[in-house]
Amino acid sequence: MGDLWVFGYGSLLWNPGFPVAETRVARLHDWHRSFCMSSIHHRGTPERPGLVLALDHAPGAVCHGLAFRVAARHAEDTLGYLRARELISSAYIETRQEVALVEGGLQGDVLTYVIDPDHAQYRTLGLEDQARIIAGATGGRGPNDEYLENTAAHLHALGLPDPDLDWLVTRVRQLKSG
């Protein structure tokens, strides 16, 4: 196996968990970042599910994120790690996508996890409903709002703010403060 490229748009931005040889800002076309996956493991429980980000197919949309290059010597272990992390409930589908590197043209065959819209954990919710769920959920990896805040903060640090995430951060803070 040669080098492995991975597209990060949510928690991989701030917690990849694998050795990264190179990081590039990238765009994925025809997908958008959305809190469309119910989380019963990492950011919620079966009794009180949270929400996590997933890539939802949307022709014409663009999702900004990071493309991580993993050196060939770490590719197989990284693939195993990501499958254990991302495919815990089969709500994600493992795909290979072409991304546009902001500096460097196109990169094909990029490992990208997208939502299965036919899976029981797929949700289509308005921002207010998302905020209410995120404000009250906690799972094995911590509070749901921590996940939201970390992702939004890292997107800002990269110069890639996401208006929906920014709105959610503000609204969740309001809900949690009373």
3-state secondary structure the chain: CCCEEEEECCHHHCCCCCCCCEEEEEEEEEEEEEEEEEECCCCCCCCCCEEEEEEEEEEEEEEEEEEEEECHHHHHHHHHHHHHHHCCCCCEEEEEEEEEECCCEEEEEEEEEEECCCCCCECCCCHHHHHHHHHHCEECCEEHHHHHHHHHHHHHHCCCCCHHHHHHHHHHHHHHCC
Q: Considering the entire predicted model, what is its pTM?
A: 0.93
pLDDT 10s digit of each residue in the chain, 178 long?
Answer: 799 999 999 999 999 999 999 999 999 999 999 999 999 888 999 999 999 999 999 999 999 999 999 999 999 999 999 999 999 888 999 999 999 999 889 999 999 999 999 999 999 999 999 999 999 999 999 999 999 999 999 999 999 999 999 999 999 999 999 7
**Is-catalytic flag, 149?**
no
Which is catalytic among the residues 47, 86, 98, 128?
86
